[in-house]
Amino acid sequence: MSELEQGAGRRRRAGGGREARRDARAAGGNVQLPFIRRKIATFDILDEEALEIIEANAETALSEFGIEFREDEEALAMWKDAGAEVDGERVCIPRGLCRQLIATAPAQFTQHARNPERSVEIGGKNTVFAPVYGPPFVRDLDGGRRYGTMEDFRNFVKLAYMAPALHHSGGTVCEPVDVPVAKRHLDMVYSHIRWSDKPFMGSVTHPMRAEDSVTMAKLVFGDQFVDDNCVMVSLINANSPMVFDATMLGALKVYARAGQGTVISPFILAGAMSPVTVAGTLTQILAEVMAGAAFAQMCRPGAPVIFGTFASSISMQSGAPTFGTPEPSLVLYGAAQLARRLGLPFRSGGSLCASKAADAQAAYESAQTLIPTVMGGVNFTLHAAGWLEGGLVSSYEKFVMDCDQLAMMQRFSEGVDMTENGQAMDAIQQVATGPETHYLGTAHTQANFQTAFYRSTIADNNSYEQWEAEGSKTADQRANALWKKWLADYQAPDLDPSIDEALLSFIEQKKAILPDGET
């Protein structure tokens, strides 16, 4: 911890009470929740026999059909050395080799934040929520749908900082298209560091950008600390079906060799990139993740690696991706079990939807993704807030609506309080035998009412008459007021000026040599 102490963390050693007050002040009164340590069971959709069949099939796919590692001679040579059969870019991996290589990967690891109180545990019984990743567009009720800018990016970082149940600042919360592609990653990583103190993700669009992300992390945490600890997780998509491409392999190698976390994520629209069946899709996901995770371990044994999956299905009528339907839920539950069986942390789910507006469709679909996310035991959840329109849009209104749901699921994950206070027999006796005829006045209710029930930030529970008198507002209209309040209340967390200076100087230096044209 010494490097960290010397870094940004050192000034956070104040007393808990002072810090808590400072935190509440900085977050405009929003009390931040730590990552979820679930006290409830996971829901398992598959029995042991089904899991065995799927893993045996995945091994068949890897050993007999093979998987491609494209345009990366080094990767192919590494696989050959490890004992795989390499034919052109096709790698056939003998049964059992992936599992053997993956054995060095941790089942759970800490991702450090620059504020140690915001560090998260990824894996085991823990769940971490991170915001939407990747949309080129943003949308709000006032301005409608438009390309994202660096200002939008900063806004979403600030909203994620303010959101009590977002435990992570995420990565590309929207694409800032007003910054040249080759320079964008610098501003994005800087924003996460400067405007939040929650953990964040690095760039993956080019190996050099991954290198820059690692360099910037080292300016914050110190070289040795970064080498010894995970301070970033980054998203490595498999190019399904059964392909890893050079860009992703390049970024994967940078992060794994730096000891940083990677999420090996098949990006699946079932029916196009995987079979139309759930078991078939699970088989392919497992094969792709096993190959990617094993490769990460070849790069550096012990580097944190997360079993990822993004799985939606397509409309067989139009080919369009669909969300919130039953099949992706089944895939999520099954993949979660396969990840646990493999001993890796699991990434999936979120608040996904196909809807173009933050309407009932968006909410049904998001809930149909988020609830399985929590019930299935996902450890790291991208897209937990803000996702709209199949991931093309970061929505301001949906962002805060989703955050409300996240906080509910966090409460749900705590399970049932079976203490004497939870059992409430004194209150039951008082009401059953009089003089109380309801519970509002009991001592037990008085003692517990402040924390008794989750209080939604979005829901309107008033009477029809009152709701009408207040303008018959729908949920998205109330959400519009809420995200504006959060941004108005936002106060930036402290950052050591010398670190800030070092970061800005690095960025300036890099920007001077990077091209402005599209690359």
Near its own copies in 218-277, by CB under 8 A: 241-242, 270-277
The least CB distance from residue 134 to its own copies, in Å, is 16
Residue 88 in the binding site for its own copies (CB under 8 A): no
Instruction: State which of positions 277-306 bind its own copies (CB under 8 A).
Output: 277-280, 282-284
Tell me which residues in 499-518 interact with its own copies (CB under 8 A).
none
Q: CB under 8 A: which stretch of 10-18, 245-253, 338-346, 354-362 binds its own copies?
A: 354-362
Spatial distance between the Cα atoms of 282 and 289, rounded to a whole number of angstroms: 10
Residue 364 is a binding residue for its own copies (CB under 8 A): yes
Q: Is 48 in the site for its own copies (CB under 8 A)?
A: no
371 binds its own copies (CB under 8 A): yes
Return contacts of 486-489, CB within 8 angstroms, 24+ apart.
486/28, 486/30, 486/158, 486/159, 486/162, 486/163, 486/400, 487/155, 487/158, 487/159, 487/162, 488/28, 489/27, 489/28, 489/29, 489/30, 489/162
Interface map 308-337 toward its own copies (x if CB under 8 A): -----xxxxxxxxxx-xxxx-xx---x---
Instruction: Tell me if 400 sits within 8 A of 483, measured CB to CB.
Output: yes
By CB under 8 A, name the one of 204, 293, 431, 499 that touches its own copies: 431
Using only the alpha carbons of the chain, give its radius of gyration.
Answer: 24
Toward its own copies, which CB reaches closer, 225 or 483? 483
The footprint of its own copies on residues 373-402 (CB under 8 A) is: 375, 389-390, 392, 401
Least separation in angstroms between CB 337 and its own copies: 11
CB nearer to its own copies: give 193 or 285: 285
Q: Which is nearer to its own copies, 232 or 385 (CB)?
A: 385
Using DSSP, state whether 368 is helix, strand or coil.
Answer: helix
Please tell me whether residue 368 binds its own copies under the rule CB under 8 A.
yes
Q: Among residues 474, 491, 509, 519, which is the contact residue for its own copies, using CB under 8 A?
A: 474
User: Whole-angstrom Cα distance, residue 279 to residue 175?
Assistant: 34
The least distance separating its own copies from the CB of residue 511, rounded to whole angstroms, comes to 33
Of 248, 427, 495, 514, the one binding its own copies by CB under 8 A: 427
- Pairing mode, strands 67-69 and 90-92: antiparallel
DSSP 99-128: HHHHTTS-SEEEEPPSSGGG-EEEETTEEE
Given the rule CB under 8 A, which of 20-28, 128-136, 224-232, 450-458 is the region that contacts its own copies? Answer: 450-458
Nearest distance, CB of residue 308 and its own copies, angstroms? 19
Residue 58 to residue 266: CA distance in whole angstroms:
14
Report, in Å, the least distance between residue 462 CB and its own copies.
6
- Is 455 near its own copies (CB under 8 A)? yes
State the nearest-atom distance from the C-beta of 327 to its own copies, in Å.
5
Amino acid at 343: G
- Cα–chain center distance at 225: 23
Residue 161 DSSP SS3: helix
Burial group, residue 177, by CB count within 10 angstroms (0-12, 13-18, 19+): middle
For its own copies, the closer of residues 193 and 482 by Cβ is 482
Provide the minimum distance between the beta carbon of 110 and its own copies in the complex, in angstroms, as a whole number: 27
Residue 52 CB, nearest approach to its own copies (Å): 11
Is position 476 an interface residue for its own copies (rule: CB under 8 A)?
Answer: yes
> How many Å apart are CA 51 and CA 67, to the nearest integer?
21
CA nearest neighbour of 490 among 8, 153, 25: 25
Q: Left (φ > 0), alpha (ψ -120 to 50) or beta: where does 474 sit?
A: beta
How long is the chain? 519
User: Within a 10 A sphere around the Cβ of 57, how many other Cβ atoms?
Assistant: 17
Q: How far apart are CA 430 and CA 128, in angstroms?
A: 41
Cβ count near 77 (within 10 Å): 11
Judged by beta carbon, residue 54 or residue 342, the one nearer its own copies is 54
Distance from C-alpha of 262 to C-alpha of 293, rounded to nearest angstrom: 9
Of 110 and 373, nearer to its own copies (C-beta) is 373
Name residues contacting its own copies, limited to 181-200 (CB under 8 A).
none
Residue type for 388, please? L
Using CB under 8 A as the binding criterion, the count of chain residues that bind its own copies stands at 122
- What is the pattern of x (binds its own copies, CB under 8 A) and - over residues 133-172? ------------x---------------------------
Least separation in angstroms between residue 202's CB and its own copies is 30
- Helix, strand, or coil here: 257? helix
- Write the DSSP assignment of 408-435 as a string of letters: HHHHHTT----SHHHH-HHHHHHHHSSS
Task: Give yes or no for a contact between 324 and 390, defined as CB atoms under 8 angstroms apart.
Answer: no
Minimum separation from the CB atom of position 24 to its own copies (A):
20
Q: According to the binding rule CB under 8 A, does residue 492 interact with its own copies?
A: no
Window 54 to 83, contacts with its own copies (CB under 8 A):
54, 57, 60-61, 64-67
